[in-house]
Structure 1
Amino acid sequence: MSFTKTTEQASHYQALEEMSVHDLLCNINREDQTVPLAVERALPQIEKLVSRVVEQLKKGGRLFYIGAGTSGRLGIVDASECPPTYGVPHDLVNGIIAGGDQAIRRAVENAEDHTTQAWLDLEAHHIGPNDFVIGIAASGTTPYVLGGLEACNQKGIATGGITCNAGSPLALTAQYPIEVVVGPEFVTGSSRMKAGTAQKLVLNMISTTAMIQLGRVKGNKMVDMQLSNNKLVDRGVRMIMGEIPVSYEVAAELLEKHGSVRQAVAFYQSQS
């Protein structure tokens, strides 16, 4: 199958090394401004995928991201931020990168070319029919990701994909594909730029919407966030004060005793 890899097409800009710092920054910024519009065009696809993700999570399933290189790292970032932000178990949203955890910091040679390794990595998490697996690949051709999705499809596990090329093998393999076509990169082929930004925006939308649908946000507040530093404790105290008529000191005592904004407010209201 042949298709056009717009992520690999030549940059619209020439002689980058001759540009001033000002011109480089302005031109990169100009290209970056096109990314949210590309995401907007993919909203119908994103909605279908997120609706299915929520359905699977409500069944007791988990969400998995698989990817290589920048795509894999973005999945890990999104997954790792869900427990502290929303107070969910660490294994509810999982990021898996080709080459294992060592590839988070340093590229692992040829890791993305293994077609069977993603399934082995998923099996290590005891993947099951209630789970949902999203393959992330800007090119839409990464063998590691494609092999993982194909294995999931064969075993009745729902699959999605995020790619930045239209009509790619990834989009044809995933049951719920998302195609955010951002066009050529400022530096030809450097898909960590616009493509990476697009993937990050989509991942934000997926996990945030899913967590809200699961009841992990009240109003617009992260009432289940983990209180892992002084800044977050202070935020939690002020959130409590916004919900119930108590002083800072009383709110702090409630938070320390009950461990979360939700539980602190619920206890106070039950006593009123």
Structure 2
Amino acid sequence: MPTNDNASNSNMQDPTSKHPQPDFPAQDQEHPGWTGPMDPPPDHGETSYQGSGLLVNRKAVLTGGDSGIGRAVALAFAREGADVLFTYLPEEKDDAAETARLVSEAGRTAVPVVCDVREEEQCQALVDRAAADFGRIDVLVNNAAYQMSQPDGIGAITTEQFDRVVKTNLYGMFWLSKMAVPHIPRGGSILNTTSVQAYQPSPHLLDYATTKGAIVTFTHGLAKMLAKDGIRVNAVAPGPVWTPLIPATLPDTKEFGKQAPLGRPAQPAEIAPAYVFLASEHASFVTGEILNATGGTPLP
């Protein structure tokens, strides 16, 4: 019978204890949140992610790349050989500078661009910038998102909040996909960030969960539409992930992620490899799929 006598000599780690587990220290930030004050600090793969040439010379456009999943994806893409143009909001300048440093340190071109994806004109300017700087867009990652917890229910969700959630999470994705397609060559791809919330919505995140469900539908439909053009469209559905959005939008972070079967939230570094796989040639026959990374929460 096989044994685990050699487990201590391998690089395998217990996933339940690989990263910090709740309870976390009390912490609160204003939106959009910043990486520096977070306790524990998020892991974006700074010391762990090792590239293997999966995206050499690819040109990637990534929204929400200043922190969290976006920073981890930018770092992973760069270490796999891609140049990365990424967006951030003006108040996220310091976090964006750190993402740019990590991409540059990997020997690739970093292009940080201020962009509010709620504005159609800014989305067009972003695509124009990418086309001018890179000549093409091999991978578009629609990752920017907004949420705000409303424990008091639907009556507490203002029209202003609903509009911001929908415009950030859906309009931006729609506009950028539409605008980018003429610049995506055959073999390129579009990756969207959905969520476990699309399938198991938390009542206090009703509007956010609604948009994440729409992203699943959009991904399935656009994949069928673009298959004839040789462009693949997929999405990643993370479970709880330890990013600045959490202390900036949830009233209590003490037990964040404890509900996942693995008993903790993911670190951004654990989610980024899913995007690398879907963007790479290893996923050449994968389109219209949702890659679930939920820490064990079963999804359809």
Higher gyration radius (CA): 1
TM-score, scaled to structure 2: 0.36
TM-score, scaled to structure 1: 0.39
Q: Greater helix percent: which structure?
A: 1
